[in-house]
């Protein structure tokens, strides 16, 4: 099992807010989030304390509390339907990824 735990699937109504969670070791206070659409490469969405690459829409935000990281999408759009993965430093490896969350926009 992964060191980082994500809900397998989450759904949100179009235009509503959704929070995707990633639970892990409390010693890890850094998480990054990636979006992956079918047949495409993962794309970095946020990293660290809500840092976003320039191409990431500002409706995406990252945060954390204790041993849980959150990716919040405020006003979800149809194009946000994708798999989302969190990552942090691995306990014994270079990095560890969560199992992924499939986001459905209704």
Partner 1 sequence: EVQVVDSGGGLVQPGGSLRLSCAASGFTVSSNYMSWVRLGPGKGLECVSVIYPIGATYYADSVKGRFTISRDNSKNTVFLQMNNLRTEDTAVYYCARANFYAGFPFFDSWGQGALVTVSS
Question: Long-range contacts of range 93-98, CB-CB < 8 Å, 24 or more positions apart?
Answer: 96/2, 96/3, 96/4, 96/24, 97/2, 97/4, 98/2, 98/4, 98/5, 98/6, 98/22, 98/24
Whichever of 19 and 49 has its CB closer to partner 1, that residue is 49
Alpha carbons 91 and 28: distance in angstroms, whole number: 9
Stretch that binds partner 1, among 16-24, 62-70, 71-79, 90-98 (CB under 8 A): 90-98
Chain positions 43 to 72 lying near partner 1, rule: CB under 8 A, are 43-44, 47-48, 51, 53
Stretch that binds partner 1, among 9-17, 18-26, 28-36, 61-69 (CB under 8 A): 28-36
Chain Cα centroid distance, residue 49: 13
- By CB under 8 A, residue 98 contacts partner 1: yes
- By CB under 8 A, residue 102 contacts partner 1: no
Q: Which residues of this chain interact with partner 1, rule CB under 8 A? A: 2, 28, 30, 32, 34, 36, 40-44, 47-48, 51, 53, 85, 87-90, 93-100
């Amino acid at each position: 099992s992964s060191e980082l735990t994500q809900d397998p699937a989450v759904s949100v109504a179009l235009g509503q807010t959704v929070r995707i969670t990633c639970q892990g070791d409390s010693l890890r206070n850094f998480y990054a989030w990636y979006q992956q659409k079918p047949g495409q490469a993962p794309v970095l969405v946020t990293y660290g304390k809500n840092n976003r690459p320039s191409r990431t829409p500002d409706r995406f935000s990252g945060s954390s509390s204790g041993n849980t990281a959150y990716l919040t999408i405020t006003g979800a759009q149809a194009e946000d339907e994708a798999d989302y993965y969190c990552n942090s430093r691995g306990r014994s490896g270079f990095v560890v990824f969560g199992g992924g969350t499939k986001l459905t926009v209704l």
